[in-house]
Structure 1
Amino acid sequence: MTAPALLTARWVVGHADGRHCLYSNGEIVVDRGRVVFVGHGYRGEVARRIDYGNALIGPGFVDLDALADLDTTALGYDNQPAWKKGRIWPQTYVESGPFDMYDAEELAFQKRYAFSRLIRGGITTALPIASLFYREWGETVAEFEAAADAARDLGLRVYLGPAYRSGNSVVRNDSTIDYFFDEERGLKGLADAIDFCRRLEGRDGGLIRTMLAPDRIETCTPELLRRSAAAAEDLDVPLRLHSNQSRFEYDSVLKLRGMSPTEWMHSLGFLGPRALLPHGTYVSGLNGIDRPGNDREILRDAGVTIVHCPLVSGRHGTALQSFRSFSDMGIRIGLGTDTYPPDMFLNMQVGMMLCRVAEASATACRSAEFYDAATIAGADALGRPDLGRLQPGSKADLMVVDLDDPFIGQVIDPIQTLMLNASASMVRSVMIDGRFVMEDGVIPGIDDRDYRRRAQSQFNGVMSKYPLRTFGHPKVEEIFPPSYPVISAAGFITAA
């Protein structure tokens, strides 16, 4: 937008005195990419007025672990154990030479497709995450240059950086799980990522920012993490590392390094306010970890942000123990989607349920706390007081949620209603940096059904290659058996 626009709705989520507030029948004025007014009775001149009626205008979500993939989590949902179902490379695949299962064009489409899904759900700032299970090794600079182009074209605010690693897990021929490392390859990935940051930081008027993203803690060497932390400090960019996310990872780090994941990161000087750590579920004293330690105190004192991804955690039978206890300790918690659907409403809803179940109390958390985590906390983790809130001077990153949707239910308080009944499909319009990137459910240039068909075709291609990278190389139908017997028109039965 090049001239002031005034937006009105039944509810506007403003920000005053350091916290969100609700304006009933509120107004928000946007000019040159910034919010200039939030409240009632604006008296200045505007070039455009839009009344959304019975809707909520709120800040766009900040997704610190934003799905940018054709989500392979679906392949492991019912198909376990992971090491028998292609989630860990077998030794035979490593010896034959891993390869990228998507070509460059498919990887570029993958990001564009995923970014459009994020926008549709009201996510306005995203730090992408994708799986390396089907990659030759790490992500490439070329694919992230294409990702930057896609973000620019769609108008999504992003923090980009190709994931890199020094090693990977492997299933040996005798069925034992081990690790192999290639230090030089990992450091080359870091060097490429640093160069990427230097070249693309602040591109497209600041819409494109950068980060460093070593992949998973168990696939990193001490030198890789030390140098990553130093580089993040030098570049002044976020530093994200998946850690404390599974018992397998916890035990692997303990075996390899003689310390818990948190203790090891701390010993390397990796932890600090720039550190973004998905998922935080396996720390000393919680989720069956009976080893003595003070992991949570270390995380708190270092000033890190735990990136809570409730949906993917719950699907794997785990949960943060708990949002309440971490918050009460003073540990900052932001939110991430991590898995499909990249629906922040669903993640907040599941997060609240998991917290209340973990604490066995309906009063363990409130709607506002999770809404804050999806907006303010994510922005603060990035050092961006101009994001995640709508107040004069902030970036005009906002969404409009339809409160007349037939499935929204009854409303007594709009934020509580979002936590009960909202979904990404109820987002009507999205603005980023003062530009409408979606209006009335339409993202310019995006054919949702065509994108879905194309994504499914690519996904089918990856599935067809799974026997190559699965222990024992079983047939596809053995890796991914149907939930029920499938009977074809010819009467052929595929057993469940």
Structure 2
Amino acid sequence: MNRWLIENATMITMDPAKPVLEGWLSVDGSKIAAMGAGSAPEEEKRQAGGTVNGDGLLFMPGLINTHGHAAMSLLRGLADDLKLQEWLENHMWPMEAKFTGDDVYWGTSLAAAEMILSGTTTFVDMYDHMDRVAEVVEQSGMRASLTRGVIGLCPPDVQTAKLNEAISFARDWHGKADGRIQTMMSPHAPYTCPPDYIERIVAAAHELGLPLHTHMSETAAEVAQNLKDYGVRPVEHLDRLGLFSRPSLVAHAVHLNDEEIAILAERGVAVSHNPVSNLKLASGVARVPELLRAGVAVSLGTDSAASNNNLDLFEEIRLAALLHKGVSGDPTAVPAAEALRMGTVYGAKSIGLDGVTGMLKPGMRADLIALDIRKPHFVPATDYMSHLVYSASGADVAHVWVDGKQLLKNRELLTLDAEKIRFEAQRAFGRLKG
């Protein structure tokens, strides 16, 4: 059905003009056509090729996960409770060196299934074998911003080969999957990429007209190393190298001083806040209230399932609201509505999709999810925005649509074979472990 209708709906729209709406919403093709309070007009009912009864459901925009490495789902639970560098160098990187394209395909499929089931409709992914990641996005029906993460700790010829691969991927896949795939360029981090290599990646991003994504200031040790190696902290270092001359998204940004926050705000740099991963790896707590006050677009990411260990963005939303209250002693530090914006509106803004997704509004893409609110933890019906942040979890998601196409119906995946994915992912891990 090309045009369809949701009736009897309670909607958290994330639209400041009407944040909560009791009424109806119609979808035409890939976009939200119209919406309103009360009963749908007769003309809308006549045009609808199908109707969804919203009774007992709470509708909201699909969640946006702005930092992750989806294929690392295969490494979930492999090496917990370790410091970042030990975790990376002694456990993650040796295993990842064994990954084949098929491993990446099945690991990403596992992540896509988990994300859809927990209400994420758009995700950012930085990894290798990105053609296989793009295949999963195409098949699953999700929306994604994809980038071949490039580590420059290698000989010059290997650096060039990696950069050429990243450029080819970005050029080949940008705008594909009916426009659901966008691409970026990604130096992995300032501590894994020499300065001249970062400059080459920035130049490629300018040539392609693409944004940039990198890890930055995740640990205090990383910042100290940057000072030792280059004489400046990571923000100034990347600024000097021109990274912020393109639209940029930095992951983590845990260890920032006031001057660095001001630079990020001035350059329009977005930050992906990954609270669960940062806590698990004891990286610290990002200065999110200060970033938000400075006008920085702060979104939410899960990071990989190897450092989280799930991809439930509702958990990140809840923690973003709670964590900053706890460390600041200020219960107003990140209110519920702001935490929800971080998982929706700010997520869209941080990857250049503001006006496209992240909000329920006519003309925007029909990326929406419905939660089952007939469960005890949604009662009484006092404040559904509060319930979404402080009570809900991904397990409450009943239905998911992206571009108007249903990906999840009554918690059944419609575009992915969950049983086959579980089997193939387990088999892939067995090969890697062996």
Alignment partner of 1:328 out of 277, 293, 316: 293
Contact 1:319 1:354 in 2 (8 A): no
The separation in 2 between residues aligned to 1:344 and 1:89, in whole angstroms, is 28
Asked if 1:395 corresponds to 2:398, the answer is no
Residue 334 of structure 1, CA deviation: 1.1
Alignment partner of 1:227 out of 200, 205, 208: 200
Report 1:272-311 matches (<5 A): 272=245, 274-284=247-257, 294-311=259-276
Q: What is the aligned partner in structure 2 of residue 69 from structure 1? A: 71
1:364 alignment partner, SS class: coil
Q: What is the aligned partner in structure 2 of residue 58 from structure 1? A: 60
Alignment partner of 1:312 out of 269, 272, 277: 277
Report 1:127-166 matches (<5 A): 127-130=124-127, 139=128, 143-166=129-152
Contact 2:4 2:48 in 1 (8 A): yes
Q: What is the aligned partner in structure 1 of residue 24 from structure 2? A: 27
**CA distances 1:73-128 after superposition (whole Å, capped 9, x unpaired):** 633432x3566x563259xxx9xx99832333222111112112111111111111
Contact 2:107 2:425 in 1 (8 A): yes
2:360 alignment partner, SS class: coil
The separation in 2 between residues aligned to 1:191 and 1:374, in whole angstroms, is 33
Residue 284 of structure 1, CA deviation: 2.9
Contact 2:68 2:124 in 1 (8 A): yes
The separation in 2 between residues aligned to 1:86 and 1:324, in whole angstroms, is 29
Q: What is the aligned partner in structure 2 of residue 361 from structure 1? A: 330
Q: What is the aligned partner in structure 2 of residue 14 from structure 1? A: 13
Q: What is the aligned partner in structure 2 of residue 289 from structure 1? A: none
Q: What is the aligned partner in structure 1 of residue 89 from structure 2? A: 88
2:145 alignment partner, SS class: strand
Change (3 A) 1:27 1:187: same
Structure with max Cα Rg: 1
Contact 1:76 1:82 in 2 (8 A): no
Q: What is the aligned partner in structure 2 of residue 265 from structure 1? A: 238
With the length of structure 1 as denominator, give the TM-score of the two structures.
0.79
Contact 1:280 1:320 in 2 (8 A): no
Change (3 A) 1:307 1:223: same
1:74 alignment partner, SS class: coil
Residue 383 of structure 1, CA deviation: 2.2
Asked if 1:218 corresponds to 2:217, the answer is no
With the length of structure 2 as denominator, give the TM-score of the two structures.
0.90
> Where in structure 1 are there 5+ consecutive unaligned residues?
131-138, 168-180, 286-293, 465-496
Residue 8 of structure 1, CA deviation: 2.8
Change (3 A) 1:212 1:414: same
Residue 370 of structure 1, CA deviation: 1.1
2:252 alignment partner, SS class: coil
Contact 1:62 1:126 in 2 (8 A): yes
Contact 2:139 2:415 in 1 (8 A): no
Contact 1:58 1:399 in 2 (8 A): yes
The separation in 2 between residues aligned to 1:20 and 1:275, in whole angstroms, is 30
Q: What is the aligned partner in structure 2 of residue 490 from structure 1? A: none
Change (3 A) 1:38 1:49: same
Report 1:97-496 matches (<5 A): 100-130=97-127, 139=128, 143-167=129-153, 181-272=154-245, 274-284=247-257, 294-340=259-305, 341-384=310-353, 385-408=355-378, 410-444=380-414, 446-448=416-418, 451-464=421-434
Q: What is the aligned partner in structure 2 of residue 171 from structure 1? A: none
Letter of the structure 2 residue corresponding to residue 312 of structure 1: S
Residue 317 of structure 1, CA deviation: 2.7
**CA distances 1:362-415 after superposition (whole Å, capped 9, x unpaired):** 121211101111111111122221111111110011101111134545431111
**CA distances 1:459-496 after superposition (whole Å, capped 9, x unpaired):** 354445xxxxxxxxxxxxxxxxxxxxxxxxxxxxxxxx
Asked if 1:39 corresponds to 2:33, the answer is no
The separation in 2 between residues aligned to 1:19 and 1:237, in whole angstroms, is 32
The more displaced of 7-16 and 233-242 is 7-16
Residue 420 of structure 1, CA deviation: 1.2
The more displaced of 183-192 and 385-394 is 183-192
**CA distances 1:34-53 after superposition (whole Å, capped 9, x unpaired):** 10112224322312111131
Contact 2:252 2:286 in 1 (8 A): no
Letter of the structure 1 residue corresponding to residue 239 of structure 2: H
**CA distances 1:186-227 after superposition (whole Å, capped 9, x unpaired):** 232122111111111111211222111221221011122112
**CA distances 1:112-152 after superposition (whole Å, capped 9, x unpaired):** 1211211111111111145xxxxxxxx2xxx3222222111
Contact 2:28 2:404 in 1 (8 A): yes
Contact 1:201 1:210 in 2 (8 A): yes
Residue 316 of structure 1, CA deviation: 2.2
Letter of the structure 1 residue corresponding to residue 242 of structure 2: G
2:68 alignment partner, SS class: strand
Contact 1:11 1:414 in 2 (8 A): no
Residue 297 of structure 1, CA deviation: 1.3
The separation in 2 between residues aligned to 1:395 and 1:22, in whole angstroms, is 19
**CA distances 1:19-73 after superposition (whole Å, capped 9, x unpaired):** 561002x211000111011222432231211113122111111211134033446
The separation in 2 between residues aligned to 1:284 and 1:182, in whole angstroms, is 34
Contact 1:108 1:147 in 2 (8 A): yes
Q: What is the aligned partner in structure 2 of residue 476 from structure 1? A: none
**CA distances 1:6-25 after superposition (whole Å, capped 9, x unpaired):** 11354112354x5561002x
The separation in 1 between residues aligned to 2:248 and 2:319, in whole angstroms, is 24
Contact 2:83 2:282 in 1 (8 A): no
Contact 1:337 1:343 in 2 (8 A): yes
* Residue-pair matches, total: 423
Q: Percent identity?
A: 23
1:300 alignment partner, SS class: helix
Q: What is the aligned partner in structure 2 of residue 483 from structure 1? A: none
Letter of the structure 2 residue corresponding to residue 250 of structure 1: V
| Higher fraction of helix | 2
The separation in 2 between residues aligned to 1:232 and 1:334, in whole angstroms, is 22
Q: CA RMSD in A?
A: 2.5
